[in-house]
Amino acid sequence: MKIKILAIDCSPRKNSNSGALLQHSFETANAKLGGELEMELVHLRDLSFSPCLACGVCGKKKESEEYFPCVQKDDMGELLEKMKSADGICIATPVYFGMPSDLFSKFVMRTRVLRHQDFQLANKPVGIMATAGRRSGGAETAIISAWLPFLRHGCLIVGNGDATCQFGVMGWAGAQGHILTDEWGLEQGEQMMRRIHEVASLVKAGQAQLGGRTPMRFSYTSGNRK
Ligand SMILES: Cc1cc2nc3c(=O)[nH]c(=O)nc-3n(C[C@H](O)[C@H](O)[C@H](O)COP(=O)(O)O)c2cc1C
């Protein structure tokens, strides 16, 4: 089954390890999968977008439940559409102080509109790759932090699948391109792409069988106090 992966590089620097890891992982996984994968690679640094204004406008109208888009008209609009149409999402971020990059945070807050529009990303598999300059430099904490927004979207978090099924992909690299000599990081990357393919295929087949999208409905009142 053809599976479309949207790969998002959250590094601010050109020729990033994050981007190289995504590209290499896709190529090696696709060779094993006989060409069943398609990947679009987006470098966040190439997009022009602002942080979420927390204006509270986006989502759906409380009474009519009509959907409201984000008020900001910038490159995020197109990226949100790409996220919606992808079968799976793979995020690669550099590790900054044990966390995902600030570019990741700026991007992910802008995805809130999709959650408020009845969880448009629900049931999409999402895997996280984090590259740290140092061993024990915080890749696992960055991966776990990056999971959180996607859990709130109703996404299906995947690890690196085959062989060890660990928390995600932990790249170990410093200078640009250094990741291409990190054998274990590359192996995990290939496994994660195949794991996303596997889960996305199951979801796609299940949705075709059941006829339609997730029944998850967003509520403004649930868990709120007056
Ligand atoms: C602001 C900043 C913070 C960083 N924090 C960490 C860190 O906490 N742990 C670590 O091992 N490496 C850290 N690094 C190194 C990067 O994670 C490393 O160079 C990585 O390969 C960058 O990936 P990229 O090429 O995709 O941007 C930091 C780098 C920068 C610029």
- CATH code at 129? 3.40.50.360
- Please name the residue whose Cα sits nearest to atom 19 of ligand 1: 174
Please determine, for residue 214, whether its predicted confidence score (pLDDT) is greater than 80: no
The reply to whether ligand 1 has any atom less than 6 angstroms from the CB of 133 is yes
Burial readout 196-210 (b: 16 or more C-beta within 10 A, e: otherwise): bbbbbbebbeeeeee
Q: Decide if 221 is inside a domain.
A: no
Q: Provide the pLDDT for residue 215.
A: 79
Q: Decide if 60 is inside a domain.
A: yes
The reply to whether ligand 1 has any atom less than 6 angstroms from the CB of 18 is yes
Q: Decide if 183 is inside a domain.
A: yes
Q: Which residue has the higher pLDDT, 212 or 68?
A: 68
Q: What are the tens digits of pLDDT across the range 17-66? A: 999 999 999 999 999 999 999 999 999 999 999 999 999 999 998 888 89
DSSP assignment of the chain:
--EEEEEEE--SSTT-HHHHHHHHHHHHHHHHTTT-EEEEEEEGGGS--PPP------EE-TTT--EE--S--STHHHHHHHHHH-SEEEEEEE-BTTB--HHHHHHHHTTHHHHHTT-TTTT-EEEEEEEESSTTSSHHHHHHHHHHHHHHTT-EEE---GGG--SSEEEE--STTGGGG-HHHHHHHHHHHHHHHHHHHHHHHHHHHHTSS------SSTT---
Which residues does residue 178 pair with via DSSP β-bridges, in sequence order?
Answer: none
Average pLDDT of the chain?
Answer: 96
The reply to whether ligand 1 has any atom less than 6 angstroms from the CB of 22 is no
Q: Provide the pLDDT for residue 204.
A: 95
* Number of domains into which the chain is organized: 1
Q: Decide if 220 is inside a domain.
A: no
According to DSSP, residue 43 is labeled E
Q: What are the tens digits of pLDDT across the range 151-183? A: 999 999 999 998 899 999 999 999 999 999 999
Please determine, for residue 127, whether its predicted confidence score (pLDDT) is greater than 70: yes
Identify the band that residue 226 occupies on the pLDDT scale cut at 50, 70 and 90: confident
Q: Ligand 1, closest atom to CA 19?
A: 26
CA of 89 to the centre of ligand 1 (A): 22
Identify the band that residue 206 occupies on the pLDDT scale cut at 50, 70 and 90: very high
Torsion of CA 189, 7, 67, 65, to 10 degrees: -10
CA of 197 to the centre of ligand 1 (A): 28
Please determine, for residue 86, whether its predicted confidence score (pLDDT) is greater than 90: yes
Q: Decide if 216 is inside a domain.
A: no
SS3 per residue for 55-77:
CCCCEECCCCCCEECCCCCCCHH
Cα distance between residue 97 and residue 88, in whole Å: 27
Q: Decide if 28 is inside a domain.
A: yes
Range of the domain at 64: 3-210
Q: Decide if 218 is inside a domain.
A: no
Q: Decide if 151 is inside a domain.
A: yes
Q: What share of the chain has pLDDT > 70, as a percent?
A: 99
Please determine, for residue 72, whether its predicted confidence score (pLDDT) is greater than 90: yes
Q: Provide the pLDDT for residue 212.
A: 75
Q: What are the tens digits of pLDDT across the range 135-156? A: 999 999 999 999 999 999 999 9
CA of 189 to the centre of ligand 1 (A): 18
Q: Provide the pLDDT for residue 213.
A: 63
CA of 87 to the centre of ligand 1 (A): 29
